[in-house]
Amino acid sequence: MSSNPPSEAKTQEYEFEQMNLQVGGRIQFITHRTIKPIQHFSTLIGWVKDEYMIVKVPFEGGAPISLNEGDKLTIRVFSGVNVCSFSCVVQRVFPRPLFYAHLSFPVSIQGTSLRTAMRVKVDIPAQVNTSNGHTSVFLVNLSVSGALIESPKQLPEYDAQVALSFYLIAQPGNRQVKVDAQASIRNINVVKPATADKQEVFTYGVQFIDLDPVHYTMLQNLTYEALIADRQKIV
């Protein structure tokens, strides 16, 4: 597994629709009120095209950040394929108990295209359910399109369909959300142990089938935060 950053194409102009924004999706929220820009994470609530966007006011240390009308921001979003950014201005702030803000609608969007489905290193226990019963496995990487599974025993053969269950952490609040996904086995490998006293491990690359849009958004967020905060996790 390479720890190098994923290759990125040259920057180009994007249309608003190409960002593939999802209500509830995580966005990077960059303020410019100090000499050094400060990065926060926020959540997209919605938008009225060509008029304004609605976002949650980011929280730091349990309190909303200071945000005033007229503040200039940079918003960065990750669509699962593209990383896009644009400048905007705070139009209106709705304080307690709502904590959201209207931002000016993007005029110019710059973006780079990344490989179709970047994978993120994880260590998540999961269950694979087949006609032969349940198997406890580990997910070692995840993307919006699939996963790599390590299993202590053999699963069905290539192209077989399995049910995969695992938990992801959702923001805000670090809530555990159960993901139940149908997946098709796309490749199979056997990892031989380094020492004779250990058992061999089976690895399976699986492709998700008709993933729930909410779970798709959560996997987008997982990939996006790894891309922004810890590129060592990008496979």
Token pair recorded at residue 59: 């929280």
Q: Give the residues of the chain that fall short of pLDDT 70.
A: 1-10, 79-81, 114-117, 172, 193-197, 228-233, 235
Are 30 and 74 contacting, i.e. CB atoms less than 8 angstroms apart?
yes
Numbered ranges of CATH 2.30.110.10 in the chain: 12-113
- The answer regarding whether domain 120-233 maps to CATH 3.40.50.12780 reads no
Closest to 207 measured CA to CA, from 156, 136, 145: 145
**From residue 46, how far is each of 101, 150, 159 by CA, in Å?**
11, 38, 38
pLDDT of residue 33: 85
pLDDT of residue 6: 40
pLDDT of residue 222: 83
Kindly report the CATH number that applies to the domain delimited by 12-113: 2.30.110.10
pLDDT of residue 114: 63
- β-strand pairing of 120-130 with 133-142: antiparallel
- Alpha-carbon distance of 142 to 133, in angstroms, equals 23
Residue spans of beta strands (DSSP E) within 66-105: 72-78, 82-94, 100-104
pLDDT of residue 174: 78
Token pair recorded at residue 167: 């938990």
pLDDT of residue 214: 87
Numbered ranges of CATH 2.40.10.220 in the chain: 120-233
Residue 13 identity: E
- Residue 186 backbone zone (phi > 0: left; psi -120 to 50: alpha; other: beta): alpha
Helix H or strand E encompassing 128: strand 120-130
pLDDT of residue 3: 36
How many residues would you count in the chain? Answer: 235
Closest to 90 measured CA to CA, from 109, 77, 71: 71
